[in-house]
Structure 1
Amino acid sequence: MKTSLICGLAGALSLAAMPALAEVESTDPIKLTLHDWTGQLLTTNLMGEVLKKAGYNIDYVQADYIAQFAGLKTGDLHVAMEIWETTGREAMDEATGTGNVQNLGETGMQAIEEWWYPSYMKETCPGLPDWEALNACAEAFSTAETAPMGRYLGGPVTWGGFDDERVEALEMDFEVVHAGTDAALFAELESAYQRKAPIVLWVYAPHWAPTKFDGEFVEFPAYTSECYSDPAWGSNPDMAYDCGKPRGPIWKVAWSGVEDKWPGAHAIIKSFNIDNQEMGDMVAKVDLESEKLDDVVANWMTTNESRWQEWIK
């Protein structure tokens, strides 16, 4: 779902506050990565437009969420605006550990990514949200393709998250089926919810889904770093990932060379901050109200001018 700003809008925003070339450290384009979910496209385009207002040239580059770190380490890619504590922390820590990638701090958004079910499923499986109760009801979540195993609809494979490993480590009677895209994931939720059909799937916040639909996140054993790194931790002495996913901030990261080549942009990216409510509202405008992503970005830029002007001082 690659989205780019329309040429007219991009040109207008780029030229509106373009300073003399001497005011920017380099006219080389700063490459911001785009992924495959609406919120990240919004965050990245917002950041790009703010940087354009400061006079920088911007390129948007489609990249895999986890594999992008290879490009960030070499400087072939420059900025990634959403690294989720829930799924990207290990890759981020490895990259920053090399010294070639910097963590530029929190975006202001707090991440939850976990198994989720509609509340109507508690009539069939009253022990929910406990994961063991879910597992005891696995057949109630089955489909013709997975029966008698339950079906868990995961996110696209590129998102990571260790759901396949989690099912194996906790010896769950579920088969993990990965949605091809973010849009497909939530289209299936919408369809199931309207029919009150059985479903348990990957839901995340900030997003409109936990607000629009009545449901709950499954409660797995609480995450600790040892759960992911030490097989001896937890209920399965031989396997890691026998717990739920971590929760926490959504981070901004950059190639370490950004600080030297574009120090002004580096400071602006560190200043960028937006909260869950803002993001959830914007994602809803794009996904539910069919507004163009470009228009949502332009509206945010207009209504928050005093805010981003502080970032680019």
Structure 2
Amino acid sequence: MKINHMMRLGVSVIALTAGAALAQESTDPIKLTLHDWTGQLITTELMGSILQKAGYNVEYVQADYLAQFAGLETGDLHVAMEMWETTGREAMDAATATGKVVNLGPTGMKAKEEWWYPSYMVEKCPGLPNWEALKEPACAEAFATAETAPKGRYLGGPVTWGGFDEERIEALDLPFEVIHAGTDAALFAELESAVQRKAPIMLWIYAPHWAPAKFEGDWVAFPEYTPECYSDPAWGINPDMAYDCGKPFGEIWKVGWAGLADKWPGAEKAIKAFTIDNAEMGAMITEVDLNGKTVEAVVADWMEKNEARWSGWIN
């Protein structure tokens, strides 16, 4: 995500259109959360724009990806458009178990988040993509930097994304150290630089995104995730520690405050109906991150081209 897009975080955008159909619904703003990666900003502004077309009052609020559930439980926040199965399932399940947060269904996008490396690194670590190759000292050293040597360096996402990478390294006894990127933009800027120089890099890559399509590489094949891997230390390779597996793959969910249906029933229906696929989202992220368009311009273009589609979600 480019820095200029981050300037929009925390800024309220309010639009109210009179409509008889909404007369019985609240005119209070529906608060949609914004996070710190391009795709989520796009998804959220798409939903906000659709709700505005239906006459709802919409406000965008910056919120931490995992800590946002406190606000969703109290009703201070109302809708989060992207909760990834790969990193947010535990927080989402804990919140929905309270009865104060509801799962509003899948976005239609499928999530993958894992350790990723460019193909030119296979020559220096020939056992890849098998995770056990990373245990070899020579392989770890191939991914090392001055700050981590002799351990390999794993460039993780911003700390707020979660992901349990430190725990994974410890449970699988990997000679690697996690260095967290400060922002989504910094993460992918470092990838671009490394690939241009054919420099060693192992980092967090997620999909849908432009990076795995633009660059030749692969995800590390860790032991397959099961819920027990995260909850039961006795499960898996390490009998004493949890997280001895890869990250889960799966849906990207929409979640919301449980009071949404009573206060804004039409909006809840539209949010549940919202769906978009990886290809569409990947193309829009590419327009923003690689082609220099603003989130607002990309969203406006999608809205214009898909009016028949989104109008069905609000009617």
Q: CA RMSD in A?
A: 1.5
Contact 1:78/1:254 (8 A) holds in 2: yes
Contact 1:155/1:182 (8 A) holds in 2: yes
Residues 1:86 and 2:86 aligned together: yes
Q: How does 1:199-218 map to 2 (within 5 A)?
A: 199-218=201-220
Residue 230 of structure 1: aligned partner: 232
Contact 2:73/2:95 (8 A) holds in 1: yes
Residue 276 of structure 2: aligned partner: 274
Deviations 1:16-47 (A, max 9, x none): x7524754601100000000000000000000
CA drift of 1:219 comes to: 0.2
Q: Separation in 2 of the partners of 1:197 and 1:161?
A: 25
Is there any run of 5+ residues in structure 2 with no aligned partner, and where? none
Aligned with 1:102: secondary structure? strand
Residues 1:248 and 2:257 aligned together: no
Aligned with 2:87: secondary structure? coil
Aligned with 1:235: secondary structure? coil
Q: Separation in 2 of the partners of 1:187 and 1:155?
A: 12
Contact 1:100/1:255 (8 A) holds in 2: yes
Q: What is the letter of the counterpart of residue 273 of structure 1?
A: T
Deviations 1:75-109 (A, max 9, x none): 00000000000000000000000000000000000
Contact 1:153/1:202 (8 A) holds in 2: yes
Residue 66 of structure 1: aligned partner: 66
Q: What is the letter of the counterpart of residue 301 of structure 1?
A: M
Contact 2:54/2:314 (8 A) holds in 1: yes
Residue 49 of structure 1: aligned partner: 49
Aligned with 2:205: secondary structure? strand
Contact 1:24/1:56 (8 A) holds in 2: no
In structure 2, the CA distance between the partners of 1:22 and 1:184, relative to structure 1 (3 Å rule), is closer
Residue 150 of structure 2: aligned partner: 148
The worse-fitting range, judged by mean Cα deviation, of 119-128 and 33-42 is 119-128
Aligned with 2:47: secondary structure? helix
Aligned with 1:232: secondary structure? coil
Residues 1:285 and 2:284 aligned together: no
Q: Separation in 2 of the partners of 1:83 and 1:221?
A: 23
Structure 1 ranges of 4+ moved more than 2 A: 1-5, 17-24
The correspondence for 2:298, drawn from 290, 293, 296, is 296
In structure 2, the CA distance between the partners of 1:121 and 1:26, relative to structure 1 (3 Å rule), is same
Deviations 1:130-185 (A, max 9, x none): 01112311110000110000000000000000000000000000000000000000
Contact 1:81/1:251 (8 A) holds in 2: yes
CA drift of 1:3 comes to: 5.2
Aligned with 2:241: secondary structure? coil
TM-score (norm 2): 0.95
Aligned with 1:231: secondary structure? coil
Aligned with 1:88: secondary structure? helix
Contact 2:30/2:78 (8 A) holds in 1: yes
Residues 1:36 and 2:39 aligned together: no
Aligned with 2:86: secondary structure? coil
CA drift of 1:125 comes to: 1.1
TM-score (norm 1): 0.95
CA drift of 1:123 comes to: 1.1
Residues 1:157 and 2:156 aligned together: no
Aligned with 1:60: secondary structure? strand
Q: Separation in 2 of the partners of 1:33 and 1:138?
A: 38
Q: Separation in 2 of the partners of 1:135 and 1:142?
A: 13
Q: Separation in 1 of the partners of 2:8 and 2:56?
A: 17
The worse-fitting range, judged by mean Cα deviation, of 102-111 and 133-142 is 133-142
Residue 102 of structure 1: aligned partner: 102
Q: Percent identity?
A: 72
Deviations 1:180-209 (A, max 9, x none): 000000000000000000000000000000
Aligned residues: 307
Contact 2:134/2:174 (8 A) holds in 1: no
Q: How does 1:171-190 map to 2 (within 5 A)?
A: 171-190=173-192
Q: What is the letter of the counterpart of residue 2 of structure 1?
A: M
Is there any run of 5+ residues in structure 1 with no aligned partner, and where? none
Q: Separation in 1 of the partners of 2:146 and 2:140?
A: 13
Q: Separation in 2 of the partners of 1:302 and 1:22?
A: 23
Q: Separation in 2 of the partners of 1:245 and 1:72?
A: 25
CA drift of 1:4 comes to: 3.8
